[in-house]
Structure 1
Amino acid sequence: MAPHGPIGVGEVAPDFTLVDTHGTPVHLGDLRGSPVVLVFMPGAFTGTCTGEICALRDNLSLFEAAGVRLLVVACDSAPTLRAWAEHEGASLELLSDFWPHGAVTAGYGVFDADRGRALRGSFLIDADGVVRWSVVNVAGQARDLAGYRAALALL
């Protein structure tokens, strides 16, 4: 994990540009004006992450109804994330933080340098780019959809 831990509520979310599963750059700064939920996943094709991505896939309407853009970030390569999304039938926006490895994830304070992967962190960023809610779970502990519902109710 980063030396100071995850960024906190009330802080401005660090800006970034990452590529999606088709190599298209997604720039967080371009999304200002609408809220965003960033979901950091430890790894594609792993049990808990697959359960979480399927839960997000099956409940995408919660985010859409709130006008929130959902972005899933992992330190896997874009082709790996594309294969994972296709395998799970997930039309979610998956972003690759592969190179420089975990740089964006580290900027949010949720990079596990010992394992080279993200911690299980989620951040709700408001339309002005300020973090309004966050959760970081220990390895193997899935995030609860009730937490996302409560976060979306803050908007």
Structure 2
Amino acid sequence: MSGSVSQSVLHAGQRAPDFELPVAPDHKVGTSQFRGRPAVLAFYPADWSPVCGDQMALYQAVMPEFERYNAGVAGISVDNVWSHRAFAEDRGITFPLLADFEPKGDVARRFGVYNEQTGVCERALFVLDGDGVVAWSQVSPPGVNPGADGILNALEGMASERRPVL
């Protein structure tokens, strides 16, 4: 990881902190909306940066694969709801982009992925199980799009654990 991260990153087996963040001025989304099904949380540094735009557009493109596992998806950055709205409209993103804006980076800090030096989230992925426990996490360098393979492998692994052995 680059810079100074506020605490250690949450890893598999740790309970994710409960949170609720604005997706619009009058609407919030949080962990309670994902209970009972897997959740993909994609922390990213900033709307409008080329790598972030490509990453979020990729997740929109592979949304049918996420839905195959009944997984909810949310992007999280320290940008405000208005930036998120314009960014989502520009990129055709339909999953929620959550504003970890005020207090800035509070949720990212609780996941251990807020960079104090740069004032933005690290590029980090978390897959939570239906109980809100981290099943998989990854932190990537800011300039690297982590793709979707790790997420899909984690979701497949969780689905395999639930399948009965014949």
Gaps of 5+ in 1: none
AA at the equivalent of 1:82: R
Give the Cα–Cα distance (whole angstroms) in 2 for the partners of residues 55 and 30 of structure 1: 23
Structure 1 residues 146 and 30: CA distance shift in structure 2, 3 A: closer
Counterpart residue number, 2:67: 64
8 Å Cα contact 1:23-1:78 kept in structure 2: no
Give the Cα–Cα distance (whole angstroms) in 2 for the partners of residues 72 and 108 of structure 1: 14
Structure 1 residues 59 and 83: CA distance shift in structure 2, 3 A: same
Secondary structure of the 1:9 match is coil
1:55-106: CA deviation from partner (whole Å, max 9, x where unpaired) = 0111111111100000111100000000000011111211100000000011
TM-score, normalised relative to structure 1: 0.95
1:11-69: CA deviation from partner (whole Å, max 9, x where unpaired) = 00011010113531113134311111100010000010001011011111111110000
Gaps of 5+ in 2: 159-166
Identity of aligned residues (%): 30
Whether 1:82 and 2:97 are equivalent positions in the alignment is: no
Counterpart residue number, 1:41: 44
2:109 to 101, 106, 109: 106
Instruction: Return 14-23 or 100-109, whichever deviates more.
Output: 14-23
**CA radius of gyration, larger in:** 2
Counterpart residue number, 2:122: 119
Counterpart residue number, 1:24: 27
Q: CA RMSD in A?
A: 1.2
TM-score, normalised relative to structure 2: 0.89
Secondary structure of the 2:145 match is coil
Counterpart residue number, 1:147: 150
Secondary structure of the 1:7 match is coil
Q: Which ranges of 4 or more aligned residues in structure 1 deviate by more than 4 Å?
A: none
AA at the equivalent of 1:41: Y
Give the Cα–Cα distance (whole angstroms) in 1 for the partners of residues 126 and 117 of structure 2: 22
Give the Cα–Cα distance (whole angstroms) in 2 for the partners of residues 22 and 51 of structure 1: 25
* Matched residues, number: 155
